[in-house]
């Protein structure tokens, strides 16, 4: 399970702190050294770790802890609060358009879980009473169109395809189709590549212009660690994103990407993929995630 090793390490560190009636500055510093190592081992971005430790240390050796009756627990509370802040404090909800149709443009590298996540998001919204339409904009891999159709069929969600014509034309036609047939959510499954390249970005910028999406959601694979954070930075700089969906958080990942990406890009994680099944999508709650790490 994700964060297992980080959780183990932090919980061990805090076992010593919890029992202490009185804390010295040296106790706090020793604990923070262990927290720092645990975060770095979990593949959290170095600069983020440095800032995080500084913040917690400042708060912990200030009045907040020394005057507290249970200083050990107070330190743990500070770490919990700062971890929550790191991941965005409160849950970032999906925005809906005030016009009848909300358009979500899904972007991401090949293999990140984009097509699967289009289905998961459609399923999530359908359960809320929406009428989603999935749109196959990945015209470069015929298998991708087929895959989206299979996903849509299994969820009884309609899939709009036009074969291998320009994705900009497909986007426009899909939105017209949604208006005509009463779909209030359009989910665009755009093409991915193995790496970010200029052609891909140009195409995405053109689709963005044509679709005027309510949100652009970047799908990233948590297993790729800091690469996921770099991908998020690039997509945000070149296209502008509204949020992220982090997939494969069920895997044996060290979790650093989930902890760093918000602070690095300023964009929130809105959902987490926690399995291959189309029901395995969770809303991302920073506070719950922090508590899961700290046990
Ligand atoms: P795409 O190339 O980005 O469209 O990626 P796909 O949707 O084809 O997914 C690639 C692989 O990742 C597939 O085997 C999916 O079943 C798997 N996958 C997607 N999301 C998750 C997730 O949250 N957890 C796990 N364990 N696997 C996932």
Residue closest to 77 by CA, chosen among 88, 64, 63: 64
Give me the helix-helix angle, 286-294 and 71-86, nearest 10°.
140
Residue from 116, 121, 272 to probe ligand 1 pocket by mutation (most atoms less than 8 Å from CB): 116
Question: How deeply is 86 buried, as exposed, middle or buried, from its count of CB atoms within 10 A (0-12, 13-18, 19+)?
Answer: buried
Q: Does the beta carbon of 119 lie inside 6 Å of ligand 1?
A: no
Q: Does the beta carbon of 240 lie inside 6 Å of ligand 1?
A: no
169-213 per-position pLDDT tens digit: 999 999 999 999 999 999 999 998 888 889 999 999 999 999 999
Residues of the chain with pLDDT > 90, as a percent, come to 74
51-104 per-position pLDDT tens digit: 999 999 999 887 777 666 678 888 888 999 999 999 999 999 999 998 999 999
Residues of the chain with pLDDT > 70, as a percent, come to 98
**pLDDT given for residue 71 in this prediction:** 80
Is 80 exceeded by the pLDDT of residue 121?
yes
Q: What is the spatial distance between Cα 257 and Cα 43, in angstroms, rounded to a whole number?
A: 7
Residue from 1, 139, 152, 247 to probe ligand 1 pocket by mutation (most atoms less than 8 Å from CB): 247
Give this complex's ipTM. 0.99
Q: Does the beta carbon of 112 lie inside 6 Å of ligand 1?
A: yes
Mean pLDDT of all residues belonging to the chain: 92
DSSP code, position 3: T
């Amino acid at each position: 399970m994700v964060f297992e090793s980080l959780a183990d390490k932090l919980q061990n560190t805090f076992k010593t702190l919890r029992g202490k009636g009185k804390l010295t500055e040296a106790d706090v510093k020793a604990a923070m050294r262990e927290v720092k190592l645990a975060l770095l081992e979990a593949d959290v971005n170095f600069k983020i770790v440095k800032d995080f430790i500084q913040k917690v240390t400042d708060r912990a050796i200030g009045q907040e802890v020394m005057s507290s009756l249970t200083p050990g627990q107070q330190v743990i509370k500070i770490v919990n609060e700062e971890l929550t802040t790191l991941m965005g404090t409160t849950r970032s909800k999906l925005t809906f358009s005030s016009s009848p149709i909300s358009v979500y443009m899904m972007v991401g590298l090949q293999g990140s879980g984009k097509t699967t996540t289009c289905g998961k998001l459609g399923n999530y919204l359908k359960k809320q009473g929406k009428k989603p339409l999935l749109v196959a904009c990945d015209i470069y891999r015929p298998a991708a169109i087929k895959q989206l159709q299979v996903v849509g069929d299994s969820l009884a969600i309609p899939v709009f395809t036009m074969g291998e014509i320009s994705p900009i034309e497909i986007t426009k036609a899909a939105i017209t189709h949604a208006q005509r047939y009463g779909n209030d959510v359009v989910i665009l499954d755009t093409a991915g590549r193995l790496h970010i390249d200029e052609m891909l970005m140009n195409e995405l910028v053109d689709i963005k212009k044509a679709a005027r999406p309510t949100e652009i959601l970047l799908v990233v694979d948590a297993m790729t660690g800091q690469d996921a954070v770099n991908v998020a930075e690039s997509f945000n700089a070149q296209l502008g994103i509204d949020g992220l969906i982090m997939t494969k958080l069920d895997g044996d990942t060290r979790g650093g990407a989930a902890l760093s990406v918000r602070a690095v890009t300023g964009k929130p994680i809105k959902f987490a993929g926690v399995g291959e099944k189309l029901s395995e999508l969770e809303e991302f709650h920073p506070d719950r995630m922090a508590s899961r790490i700290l046990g």
